[in-house]
Amino acid sequence: MIKHEEVKNGVIFPVGEKNEAYARYFVGQSYLKTLISDPKVSVGVGNVTFEPGCRNNWHIHRDGFQLLLVTGGEGWYQEEGKPAQFLKAGDVIVTHDGVKHWHGATKDSWFEHIAITAGTPEWLEPVADVEYNKL
């Protein structure tokens, strides 16, 4: 059974379109609704929605940071060398400059977060299925 299917319709903000621009950096289907993209503001803000089992590749934010505000569903966040953290609505993640990490949905739940991002992402390898499936 798939959990939190209501998330696929958006929790606070609309789900947006299929995240085709970044699809090569994800395993599975994600959706993106850009909320703030203003060249006079040094951060981007987007509503990112993950189908069950979807996760992004390992990545690093260079000369910046990323804040995740979890708004719905269930997901995972992991920094390199640390155990994965289970996420649910109301959780907040702070990723500092230069920290290798990934985030995404659990295998059986939709997941949604607001991403507040500064700097430039450096996209790396996918999260291995064998590691993800252990969660």
**pLDDT score for 85:** 98
Instruction: Write down the domain spans for the chain.
Output: 5-133
**pLDDT score for 18:** 97
pLDDT tops 90 at residue 1: no
For the stretch 30-68, pLDDT in tens is 999 999 999 899 999 999 999 999 999 999 999 999 999
CA distances from 28 to 52, 63, 88, 91, 113 (A): 8, 28, 20, 23, 16
**Best CA proximity match to 87, nearest among 101, 74, 78:** 74
Share of the chain above pLDDT 70, in %: 100
**pLDDT score for 19:** 96
Fold entry, domain 5-133: Jelly Rolls (2.60.120)
CA atoms of 93 and 67, how far apart (whole Å): 6
